[in-house]
Chain A
């Protein structure tokens, strides 16, 4: 299969996906559970891939994702609330300090940029640390960010610990897919560039990578900042999806959830992260809902089923994956048209590459 046909097939598949989504949207009521799940799945796919860039491709075990999402979500909310609504939203802070509203797209990009700026500053001290210390320090910084955003003194900007709401949001599921798709494509391009190769080298062996002339501090910083940029963007999308946002939801539990999505998908696989985030969201928000409601079959009261059971089942599944299927769904492999084609035609990858070389 030539490179050209591969590109054509990929473009066609993406086009078909958007067409299907478009048709679904025309034909199903917009409140259908499917759309909720797809939107949230797209957002989580983006943040999972951004975390994978750090944990899976660069080998930096960072647990700060929720903090950067918070920065993004708040930047978006604060900058886009229409001026007319500000008095109402910031009712405890005299309408707040900021008296302008930006276009949502600009605000999303700024959300990423601010998260990246935070990451740059946090990275200066934190990226010198190794493995588990890095994890704890980033977790700590995420908590500090949350505390600062909830601080009353910053209320005129962040609305303290109150809700941000009334900002504009796109309703169409197509927007979420497009936004998150573009971002994931950018991350994939980064991973496939020389930077990406350097990241993988750092992951596999820091000392060897340094000996090969890779500037460790520089590359780690780039990975951290880029990952946080996209975490910020996904935070903005999440804010948009939820139509209201509050700092209290971005707890470390959220980071854990994202990390577990990455693990289920396979640490070091972009497509794995995407698949597992959709799977995670679809199962937890939709298909396993029945576990949370008390059920009777005839006169028989099904035991255990009541509010909260879904999450227990989920946690057990996750533990089983962590313990027995450490590779996750995809391991470090990627799902692609080429790999399927090769599987069908029985060609191994090496053969094809060798053929191309000769």
Chain B
């Protein structure tokens, strides 16, 4: 019991961070599933969502600011795809990846310009930022809500992908890009839709994440972004449940490592895990084995 009360805070923080990574990881895994592109800018879109929140609460009430953040983030994600990725659809994969890195560089520098390089204080969202006590541990309510919200969102997303027409189109596109085009699927709208969902979830993730870690800086998205990508690889790229489970595992292990006093290595652990996964089981936990055609 003593052990539990000592380690429960880390475990809870881990589950909560894991849920937030999961929301980002879904964006990576869906985009990679269809375009075979690591969307390096995804972490920065997450950061933008944080910044938009910071600035929008200064001009509008909270109940308007939250939907506003969600809508503008989705818009940014949509625009990034249209401007930076769509023109390169027939280009080699390396060019698209470089373009993604370019977008990430642009968004970070834009944020640096707007914020002036100072960390911005994230506003307190009422109710979810309230301090509560669970099993003798004081924490913010967001810590407890996150896993449930994540599960709810993931279930509805899986439903969307399995049961609706656009979901079927997305599955087809990720199976075979060219054939699905031949079958009359409007590939551009499917890709746009993927980016919209990804950015929406990243925006929700940012609401939760920054309620816990309140400093928003231009590079704040880079690390969670990379970790979420690792989570997506770990779970098997293209698989949504895999990404979510991977994200929870990474979030929890990271916080356990922090709890053991090895904070320096909490980031390093994530990448070590990535390398182990890529070497031992490149398809991840739930990924489908893909064969290379010569």
- Chain A residues proximal to chain B, CB less than 8 Å: 55, 61, 125-126, 128-129, 131-133, 135-137, 139-141, 143-144, 147-148, 150-152, 207, 251-253, 256-257, 259-260, 263, 267, 306-309, 311-312, 314-316, 318-319, 322-323, 326
24 sampled A-B residue pairs with Cβ under 8 A? A129-B278, A129-B282, A132-B97, A133-B233, A136-B230, A140-B274, A143-B267, A143-B271, A144-B272, A147-B268, A253-B219, A260-B101, A260-B105, A307-B113, A308-B112, A311-B112, A312-B106, A315-B106, A318-B105, A319-B84, A323-B87, A323-B88, A323-B99, A326-B91
Output the least CB separation between A274 and chain B (Å).
Answer: 19
Question: What is the bound-complex CA distance between A148 and B274, given in angstroms?
Answer: 17
With A139-B226, A152-B264, A322-B95 as given contacts, are A316 and B294 in contact (CB-CB < 8 Å)? no
B289 at the binding interface (Cβ < 8 Å): no
Q: Is the CB of A314 within 8 A of B99?
A: no
Within 85-105 of B, Cβ neighbours of A (below 8 Å) are at 87-88, 91, 93-95, 97-99, 101-105
Instruction: Known pairs A152-B264, A323-B87; list 18 more (Cβ under 8 Å).
Output: A55-B94, A125-B275, A125-B279, A135-B97, A136-B38, A140-B230, A144-B268, A147-B264, A147-B267, A147-B268, A253-B105, A256-B105, A257-B105, A263-B98, A307-B113, A308-B112, A319-B84, A323-B83
Of the candidates B94, B106, B233, B270, which one forms a contact with A131 in the assembled complex, judged by CB atoms under 8 Å apart?
B94
Q: Is the CB of B117 within 8 A of A308?
A: yes
Q: Is the CB of B106 within 8 A of A132?
A: no
- What residues on B are CB-neighbors of A323 within 8 Å? 83-84, 87-88, 99
Output the least CB separation between A207 and chain B (Å).
Answer: 5
Question: What is the bound-complex CA distance between A132 and B36, given in angstroms?
Answer: 9
B211-243: CB near A (< 8 Å → 1, else 0) gives: 000000001001000100110010000000000
- What residues on B are CB-neighbors of A252 within 8 Å? 222
If over half of A's interface residues share one DSSP class (helix, strand or loop), that class is named, otherwise mixed; here it is helix
Q: Is the CB of B108 within 8 A of A253?
A: yes
Output the least CB separation between A158 and chain B (Å).
Answer: 12
B contact residues, total (Cβ < 8 Å)? 46
- What residues on B are CB-neighbors of A139 within 8 Å? 226
Q: Is the CB of A319 within 8 A of B106?
A: yes
Taking CB as reference atom, which chain A residue is nearest B265? A147
Output the least CB separation between B32 and chain A (Å).
Answer: 8
**Interface-central residue, A143, A207, A260, A315, by most chain B CB under 10 Å:** A315
B67 at the binding interface (Cβ < 8 Å): no
- What residues on B are CB-neighbors of A260 within 8 Å? 98, 101-102, 105
Output the least CB separation between A267 and chain B (Å).
Answer: 8
Q: Is the CB of B113 within 8 A of A312?
A: yes
- What residues on B are CB-neighbors of A135 within 8 Å? 38, 97
Q: Is the CB of A259 within 8 A of B98?
A: yes
If over half of B's interface residues share one DSSP class (helix, strand or loop), that class is named, otherwise mixed; here it is helix
- What residues on A are CB-neighbors of B108 within 8 Å? 253
With A131-B94, A319-B84, A319-B102 as given contacts, are A309 and B113 in contact (CB-CB < 8 Å)? yes
Q: Is the CB of B105 within 8 A of A137?
A: no
Taking CB as reference atom, which chain A residue is nearest B222? A252
Across the A-B interface, the 10 shortest Cβ-Cβ residue pairs: A140-B271, A308-B113, A315-B106, A311-B109, A144-B268, A147-B268, A315-B109, A322-B102, A151-B264, A308-B112
Q: Is the CB of B95 within 8 A of A326?
A: yes
Question: What is the bound-complex CA distance between A186 and B112, given in angstroms?
Answer: 39
- What residues on B are CB-neighbors of A322 within 8 Å? 95, 98-99, 102
Output the least CB separation between B177 and chain A (Å).
Answer: 16
Taking CB as reference atom, which chain A residue is nearest B94? A61
Output the least CB separation between B223 and chain A (Å).
Answer: 8
With A253-B219, A314-B109 as given contacts, are A137 and B278 in contact (CB-CB < 8 Å)? yes
Output the least CB separation between B25 and chain A (Å).
Answer: 13
- What residues on A are CB-neighbors of B117 within 8 Å? 307-308
Q: Is the CB of B278 within 8 A of A133?
A: yes
Output the least CB separation between B270 and chain A (Å).
Answer: 7
With A308-B112, A308-B113, A319-B103 as given contacts, are A61 and B271 in contact (CB-CB < 8 Å)? no
Taking CB as reference atom, which chain B residue is nearest A152? B264
Taking CB as reference atom, which chain A residue is nearest B99? A322
**Interface-central residue, B97, B103, B271, B294, by most chain A CB under 10 Å:** B271
- What residues on A are CB-neighbors of B83 within 8 Å? 323
B134 at the binding interface (Cβ < 8 Å): no
Output the least CB separation between A332 and chain B (Å).
Answer: 13
- What residues on A are CB-neighbors of B279 within 8 Å? 125, 128-129
B110 at the binding interface (Cβ < 8 Å): yes
- What residues on A are CB-neighbors of B98 within 8 Å? 259-260, 263, 322
Output the least CB separation between B49 and chain A (Å).
Answer: 19
B178-213: CB near A (< 8 Å → 1, else 0) gives: 000000000000000000000000000000000000
Question: What is the bound-complex CA distance between A129 and B91, given in angstroms?
Answer: 22
Output the least CB separation between B220 and chain A (Å).
Answer: 13
Question: What is the bound-complex CA distance between A150 and B265, given in angstroms?
Answer: 10
- What residues on B are CB-neighbors of A312 within 8 Å? 106, 109-110, 113
Output the least CB separation between A95 and chain B (Å).
Answer: 23
